[in-house]
Amino acid sequence: MLLAATYKAADLLCGNYSSTKITQILRHQEEDPELRMTDHLFKSKTFSSVYQQYMVPVSSDVMNLIFSYLKEKKSKPYDTAVDVGCGTGRYTLPLAAYFKKVIGVDISESQLEEAKQFCSSVNVTFQVAAAENLPLEDASVDLVNAGLAAHWFNVEKFVHEAVRVLKPNGCLAVHAFVPIYKLQDGHNDAALNVVMKQYLDKMSEFKYKNNNIMHHQYEEVFNAIPLKDKKWVTDIPVVFEMTVEEIIGFFQSIYMYQEFLKHDKNEAIRFLMHLEQRFRDILGDGYESALIKVHIKHYCVLACKSS
């Protein structure tokens, strides 16, 4: 029998928010051509919904690092920021309070639909555009931001395009995080991390080559930036408290699980059901309300276009 958290997350993946029957879930996935098309991963409405609901929160430490760097390099007021590969707008919204105008760009219309619902600020707009061909004038932007996105870009083309649109003393911020590497609840840490390792080992079977850029903490991005004034900050520790349902949901918001789902939908759902059962066995009664500390490592590449 499916557990409640798996019901909810699997329903989201299938674009079926009311069904909780595994046969209906699997049938809907089979009928959904988006779930069979790897090239359209980020254009899938179901993926966009799961990503928006379950991806880990934006790190305030990383955003503060970016704003502090910008303050060092450029005096206020700040006119325009562009969030490249903005997806569902998770990194776009925090920019709104600092800039007169914020533009989010992404290749995925479905992700931008989620972003428009998520970001209600009047100074934020969204456009369909590629990171390598920004619809912006030369020297028109104070900050180019790319959060959890640059590993999908043609890095060389993106950084040169970013430099093109930046104003003198404008800044570039490119950041992401290393996938979860440690879970803690203070009592069952070793057992929880066995489950974590099982998940990561399985997901490694569906890893794209560009994922290596993330595991090297964007060193390739840093090296590609044709600016002298740049810095690379790694191993920024961030800890979130999450429920089992949120962790299972996060597992599904990672692109590697989406590839697993396309490869063998039945096995992918059974795999998550097994992981949730393992969490239940480890945590015992009250597992649904238990809070688990989730440790991840952020990293950030910063650069300034000299005047």
State the pLDDT at residue 291: 95
State the pLDDT at residue 23: 30
Question: What is the spatial distance between Cα 24 and Cα 5, in angstroms, rounded to a whole number?
Answer: 17
State the pLDDT at residue 1: 31
Q: What is the domain class of 60-178+210-237 according to CATH?
A: alpha beta
Q: Mapping DSSP to helix (H, G, I), strand (E, B) and coil, where does residue 9 land?
A: helix
Name the token pair of 42. 């980020």
Question: What is the spatial distance between Cα 299 and Cα 234, in angstroms, rounded to a whole number?
Answer: 4
State the pLDDT at residue 302: 99
Name the token pair of 229. 């004034």
Question: What is the spatial distance between Cα 180 and Cα 57, in angstroms, rounded to a whole number?
Answer: 13
State the pLDDT at residue 56: 79
State the pLDDT at residue 111: 87
State the pLDDT at residue 114: 87
State the pLDDT at residue 153: 93
**Residue from 290, 291, 256, 276 nearest 8 by CA:** 276
State the pLDDT at residue 209: 63
State the pLDDT at residue 13: 39
Amino acid at 33: P
Domain extents for the chain?
4-55+181-206+240-295, 60-178+210-237
* Residues paired with 81 in a beta bridge: 102, 143
Cα 124 to its chain centre, rounded Å, is 19
Per-10-residue mean pLDDT, the chain, length 307: 36 34 34 36 60 80 97 96 95 95 95 88 95 98 97 95 98 90 90 92 81 87 98 94 91 86 91 93 93 94 95
Which spans in the chain are helix H? 4-14, 22-31, 45-54, 60-73, 109-118, 155-165, 189-203, 211-215, 219-224, 244-253, 255-263, 265-283
State the pLDDT at residue 30: 39
DSSP β-ladder status, 230-242 and 101-106: unpaired
State the pLDDT at residue 74: 96
CB 176 within 8 A of CB 242: no
Name the token pair of 221. 């991005």
From first CA to last CA, the distance across the chain in angstroms is: 63
Please tell me the pTM assigned to this model.
0.81
Return the H-helix or E-strand segment holding 184.
strand 166-184
